[in-house]
Amino acid sequence: MEKFLTVLDSASDALTSGFLITAFVSAAAVLCGAILGVVFGLALTYGGRLASLPFRIVVDVVRGTPVLVLILATYYMPSGIGFSPGPITAGLVALTVFCAAHVGETLRGALRAIPSAQTDAASAIGLTFGQTLSYVLMPQAIRQIAPNFVNTAVEIVKASSLLSAIGVGELLLTTQEVIGRSYLTMEFYALCGLLYLLLNLGIGAGGWWLERRFRIQ
Amino acid sequence: MTPILTIKNLTKTFGASAVLRGVDLEVFPRDVISIIGASGSGKTTLLRCIDLLEEFDSGEIRLDGEILGYRDKGGRHRRLPGRELARQRARMGMVFQSYNLFPHLTAAQNIMLGLRKVRGMATAEARAVAEGWLDRVGLADRRDHHPSALSGGQQQRVAIARALAMEPRLVLLDEVTSALDPELVQEVLLTIRGLAEAGTTMLIVTHEMRFARQVSTRVVFMDGGAVREQGPPNEIFGNPKAQRLRDFLANVSH
């Protein structure tokens, strides 16, 4: 225990930095992924057969591929065309696209599930399609997909640990480095797991609060 | 007197079946027209074509002289772009059988949405107008309730207020009491009667024959996708001429 505290004290800066990179990469991927996911969802729902096809392909490929493969591909494949993104950029892009594919697919389902009578009613008072989307359909769809979105955010946080494979100094990689020097395997994997758990419990609590806040009584 | 709405030879087919086979109808200011007829006679489709929720194949609908929904371009009949359709729809109100309130908005917000986004009112003004209409349909104390906290009759009265608050040239009501429990029908019919007495121009598709007789200035009988007979309620119910109308009236209690 004493040794653990000594090592923890000397490694605390590295672990804090790892934790912050995990939090930052996850938050950025969730945020960008949500925005891109809305574009995906709208294109899949209203794009018609031709315009939605590229989005359909991306979504199906991303959802049918392990996240680790996606990350490695994003990191190593561009160098084939003479362009090499840094590990953080590549990781961020991979996680963003992963998030967007999931958000896009659930949003499509939620929009499709809203009865066409809602669109009729919005049209009848003279709303344009854009207004109908903004004020009638999206507010209902977003409430519908909120629980699913919280799950996706948790998945992103967990998937961010895979960025250790391409050398991003996030929480898992930092932990492994500390273990490599101290041999306190159990203690530091437990600490690492606990930090991921705290992050995800925080997301869960935030989602729960938002859901209560916007619930239709 | 010039008509508000003129429909000439309107036709529409769904796949192989013709739903409207040449409908002609004129609606004048302060007309309260009940459209009656058997299921499948094209009543609801007619209303949805007028409100541009449904495309039609041929014929013409004019609102205050302006052709609705289409324009002729290079000799071809073209559907108007969405923005134009929205502008034309805003001049008519429609109330649906299943109310179709927006579930995420309160009663007042349901009415305010069109006032703010279509008529460009500031929020405070829109709220005042919405509350005035909720008061008129007897729901002043329900303005901050979501639709799920309202009875069917109350929801339908909010839907009527939502349509009327836009100050439409005419209001289309599509079987607005058909989805209601019997004890809730009267409150909605009373609301519509109040509008009729206030001079609102209305086209009412209904199965409530007694109500049609009491409230209408004219009754239109549709059969096989066309207007088979029309006239004052006393004529239509008291002295029906077409055999199909006589058969229809014999089959419904009125």
- Which domains, ranges and CATH numbers included, belong to chain A? 2-213 (1.10.3720.10)
Q: Is-contact A196 A23, C-beta < 8 A? A: no
* Span B52-67, pLDDT tens digits: 999 999 999 999 999 9
Number of H helices, E strands in chain A: 9, 0
First and final C-alpha spacing in chain B: 32
Distance from CA of B87 to the nearest CA of A (A): 6
Q: What is the C-alpha separation between B45 and B225, in angstroms, rounded?
A: 9
Q: What is the C-alpha separation between B4 and B199, in angstroms, rounded?
A: 13
Model pLDDT, residue B45: 96
**Which residue in A118, A123, A136 is closest to B53 by CB distance?**
A123
**Which residue in A124, A129, A216 is closest to B146 by CB distance?**
A216
**Which residue in A122, A126, A129 is closest to B87 by CB distance?**
A126
Query: pLDDT band at residue B253, thresholds of 50, 70 and 90?
Result: low
Chain B hits for A140, CB-CB cut-off 8 Å, are: 102-104
Model pLDDT, residue A214: 82
B113/A117 CB distance under 8 A: no
- Domain ranges across chain B: 1-91+171-179+205-254
Chain B hits for A121, CB-CB cut-off 8 Å, are: 94, 96, 100-102, 159
B209: Cα separation from own chain's centroid: 17
Model pLDDT, residue B252: 85
Of all residues in chain B, the percent with pLDDT exceeding 70 is 99
Query: Average pLDDT over chain B, rounded to whole?
Result: 94
Q: Does domain B1-91+171-179+205-254 have CATH number 3.30.450.90?
A: no
A125/B146 CB distance under 8 A: no
Chain A hits for B52, CB-CB cut-off 8 Å, are: 123
Q: Is the ipTM of this complex over 0.85?
A: yes
B254 pLDDT higher than 60: no
Stated pTM of the model: 0.90
Query: pLDDT band at residue B109, thresholds of 50, 70 and 90?
Result: very high
Q: Does B14 touch chain A (CB under 8 A)?
A: no
Tens-digit pLDDT profile for chain A (217 aa)?
788 899 888 889 999 999 999 999 999 999 999 999 999 999 999 999 999 999 999 999 999 999 999 999 999 999 888 888 899 999 999 999 999 999 999 999 999 999 999 999 999 999 999 999 999 999 999 999 999 999 999 999 999 999 999 999 999 999 999 999 999 999 999 999 999 999 999 999 999 998 888 877 6
Model pLDDT, residue A212: 87
Distance from CA of A213 to the nearest CA of B (A): 13
**Interfacial B residues in 161-180 facing A (CB < 8 Å):** 162-163, 166
Residue B76 bridge partners (DSSP): B73
B242 pLDDT higher than 90: yes
B118/A126 CB distance under 8 A: yes
Q: Is-contact B36 B212, C-beta < 8 A? A: yes
B148/A140 CB distance under 8 A: no
**Which residue in B96, B117, B166 is closest to A120 by CB distance?**
B96
Q: Does B18 touch chain A (CB under 8 A)?
A: no
B76 pLDDT higher than 80: no
B165: nearest CA partner in chain A = A125
Model pLDDT, residue A217: 60
B90/A128 CB distance under 8 A: no
Chain A hits for B63, CB-CB cut-off 8 Å, are: none
Distance from CA of B159 to the nearest CA of A (A): 9
A121/B90 CB distance under 8 A: no
Please give the single-letter amino acid code of residue B112: M
Q: What is the C-alpha separation between B252 and A77, in angstroms, rounded?
A: 73
B117/A122 CB distance under 8 A: no
Angle at B10 between CA B5 and CA B15, to 5 degrees: 140
Q: Is-contact B247 B236, C-beta < 8 A? A: no
* Span B11-65, pLDDT tens digits: 999 988 899 999 999 999 999 999 999 998 999 999 999 999 999 999 999 999 9
**Which residue in B93, B103, B113 is closest to A135 by CB distance?**
B113
A137: nearest CA partner in chain B = B102
Chain A hits for B90, CB-CB cut-off 8 Å, are: 125-126
Q: What is the C-alpha separation between B113 and B102, in angstroms, rounded?
A: 10
Q: Is-contact A196 A159, C-beta < 8 A? A: no
Give the CA distances from residue A178 to residues A7, A188, B135, in Å, rounded to whole numbers and listed in that order: 8, 8, 70
